[in-house]
Structure 1
Amino acid sequence: MLPDLSFAPPSRRALLRSTAALAALALLDGCSSGSGDAQPAEPTGPQPSAAGWSMPAESAPHTRTFMAWPALEEVWGDQLPGVRQDIASIARAVAAFEPVVLMARPEQAAQARKQCGASVEVIELPVDDLWARDTGPTFVTGPQGLAGVDFGFNGWGGKQTHAEDAQVARRLLDRYGVPRIRASVTGEGGAIEVDGAGTLMATESSWVNANRNPGKSRDEIEAELKQRLGVHKVLWIKGVAGQDITDCHIDALARFAEPGTVVVHRPAADTPPDVWTTASDQALEVLRSATDARGKPLRVVELVEPDAELIPAHNADFLATYLNYYVVNGGVIVPKFGDRAADDRAADIIGELHPGRKVVQVSIDQVAAGGGGIHCATQQQPAV
């Protein structure tokens, strides 16, 4: 028998309905960059040259992984303890392969250290929520070493409180002495997927959207992404606007396993048609006919979601996708949901797509019930 899920936590799969979110949403029709939020202070010194920078593939070697400790009861309600336990489990799993640095509010750092254990380094840096993929910098490498692109996180278009999270990229780069590159477009790390060989995938719904980039065309946004991330071709997928807090991030829809190979999230066979099945169908159609930056057709691999009836914690907002895995040094951290056959099948497929890496499955029921996954909660710093 399924547990009582009459309380659904604020979610990345359902628009937030808190007072703060409603106030922010009211600004969207006439928003300036950042949906009315004050933008992070610009660097006082010269920025690194735009030339020569590129974003490595996630499968390239990492120096460390950054994560964040969920801070606010107003966001998670009584789900917060369970969400924190999931984040601790992910952090420990990643730390078995590479260093993990977890950001936490000063008053919550001791609790984070206790739950995560000695293998995880906890630093005192104010955060609002756990989504380090979106709030942290997107790292790029080049002749000048390492830099971080700050895409001006604005709470996914003003849908969630983010006073601290808006400053995470800048503060983290300052702490580690990494040059900051301020992008002229607003977006999130989960809205970016690169193959490391010149190709980027993105959804129009999360970039060409007035809640992030009012007045900017797709061509203008594409030009900025190419310049900041060192890519030569952008594969645009339509996505879904207004149905979840991210406006359909690419990292829950399609991922690169390697240059030339794309993995696409697919609904279970008996899933009734809705906006999400339509988005998956459209992604599949686009990618099967696309070529990458090298002019080569893509190999497309389908990754089918688990059976919702076999997931004890499943609710309407549950992000039941295996696609939101995270590649680490020598391993891949993969979600498991309780559908043993689907969990094992997904682990086998992901393992085959990432040969030589150990596949580690982690239960993330509480994070998934909030509409997120392992990839959403992590951000890699590439080795230079």
Structure 2
Amino acid sequence: MNRMPSESLPHVRTFMGWPPAGSVWGPYTAAVRRDVAAVARLIAEYEPVVLLAGPGDAEAARKACGGAVGIAAVPVDDLWLRDSGPVFVTGPDGGPAGVDFRFNGWGGKQDHPRDGLVARRLLEEYGVPRIEAPFVAEGGSLETDGEGTLLVTESSLVNDNRNPGRSRAEIEGGLKELLGVTEVIWLEGVRGEDITDCHVDALARFAAPGTVVLSGPPAGAAPDVWSRVHERARAVLEHATDARGRSLEIVDLPEADLAELGERGEDFLGSYVNYYVAGGAVILPRFGDRRADERAAAVLRDLHPGREVRAVEIPTLAEGGGGIHCATQQQPAT
């Protein structure tokens, strides 16, 4: 049976995508490239990083990232490798395999013809066997403890924009078979409020087996659709048990306070839960709310003992509705 390892286990490399010229970022392309380069260079201090870039964009990627970051000639439409790239698993023989979840632009919200082929092309480039999933999902919608438990949001998977006519039970069965999990914890999420239909990797993550870090609004924030999402997620997690029968410890990680950040767009993502575990480090965003930034670093330091906690500013990435985890995809060491 396949098995999806925990992100906290060693990686062969981290994959990222280099936003191409003429992308959806338009006049913000140069700015978001600076964010991608900053994240890539930081992760490269801890493990190998490979940027996917089309022929016309590879030189700009090399210049921005330097020799510490590798380039693979795989064209992309956008930078979100967590969603367009393959989800790596360990196969029954102990070797690597990659699940291609047939990325379709988050339910057809954007046109991504090259990104729809990224998983296949990346796996071919690195000689990793490909497993085609029988339904559509994104890597950001899947969070595992590595011990048989999977966290997902119903809003992003049981959705006609990805899997018309598919039931929750049918999708759960497919996830268990593809990823080798035995317990799927379904959070409600919310449809249509962001491009991902509420991916779990900005809401709740396993810091360790039995421990979930949960995003939430800053203190004093007015109730809104997202505070209800967080409240409902907490209610589910408080009563859930994992694949080994354990109740879950929930650690709250409040988001950055928009009042401390100045004007931000409607797509801005201020979630610290969208961090990335790489080598001996935890890479998390720094938003500019000093109190929240410092609290997030302290919480994650406690949750990931033995790892350095490194914060990096990602102003344009965050304005685009994503974060560091969204922009990365790990290939686990087998």
- Normalised by the size of structure 2, how large is the TM-score? 0.98
Q: Which residue among 106, 130, 147 is the counterpart of 2:79?
A: 130
The answer to whether the Cα contact below 8 Å between 2:120 and 2:130 also exists between their aligned partners in 1 is yes
Structure 2 match to 1:293: 243
Structure 1 match to 2:312: 362
Structure 2 match to 1:46: none
Cα separation, 2, equivalents of 1:143 and 1:383: 15
> C-alpha offsets along residues 99-122 of structure 1, whole Å, 9 cap, x if unaligned?
000001110100011001111001
Shift of the alpha carbon at 1:93? 0.7
Shift of the alpha carbon at 1:142? 3.0
Structure 2 match to 1:200: 150
**Aligned positions of 1:9-48 closer than 5 A:** none
**Aligned positions of 1:129-208 closer than 5 A:** 129-144=78-93, 145-208=95-158
Structure 2 match to 1:53: 2
> C-alpha offsets along residues 59-87 of structure 1, whole Å, 9 cap, x if unaligned?
01100000001125451121111100000
Cα separation, 1, equivalents of 2:217 and 2:22: 32
Structure 2 match to 1:107: 56
Cα separation, 2, equivalents of 1:324 and 1:366: 15
The AA in structure 1 aligned to 2:4 is M
* Coordinate RMSD, CA, aligned: 0.9
Structure 2 match to 1:318: 268
The answer to whether the Cα contact below 8 Å between 2:23 and 2:29 also exists between their aligned partners in 1 is no
Structure 1 match to 2:232: 282
| Counterpart check, 1:85 vs 2:43 | no
Cα separation, 2, equivalents of 1:222 and 1:136: 21
Structure 2 match to 1:241: 191
Unpaired runs of at least 5, structure 1 = 1-51
Structure 1 runs (4+) greater than 3 angstroms displaced: none
Shift of the alpha carbon at 1:342? 0.8
The answer to whether the Cα contact below 8 Å between 1:72 and 1:128 also exists between their aligned partners in 2 is no
Cα separation, 2, equivalents of 1:182 and 1:159: 22
Structure 2 match to 1:251: 201
**Aligned positions of 1:313-352 closer than 5 A:** 314-352=264-302
Give the total of aligned pairs: 333
Q: Percent identity?
A: 59
Shift of the alpha carbon at 1:313? 6.0
The AA in structure 1 aligned to 2:29 is L
Unpaired runs of at least 5, structure 2 = none
Q: Which residue among 40, 55, 62 is the counterpart of 2:11?
A: 62
The answer to whether the Cα contact below 8 Å between 1:199 and 1:293 also exists between their aligned partners in 2 is yes
- Structure 1 74/132 Cα, relative in aligned 2: closer, same or farther at 3 Å? closer
Shift of the alpha carbon at 1:167? 0.2
Return the index of the structure with the highest Cα Rg.
1
Shift of the alpha carbon at 1:149? 0.3
| Counterpart check, 1:221 vs 2:157 | no
Cα separation, 1, equivalents of 2:2 and 2:92: 8
Cα separation, 2, equivalents of 1:355 and 1:297: 21
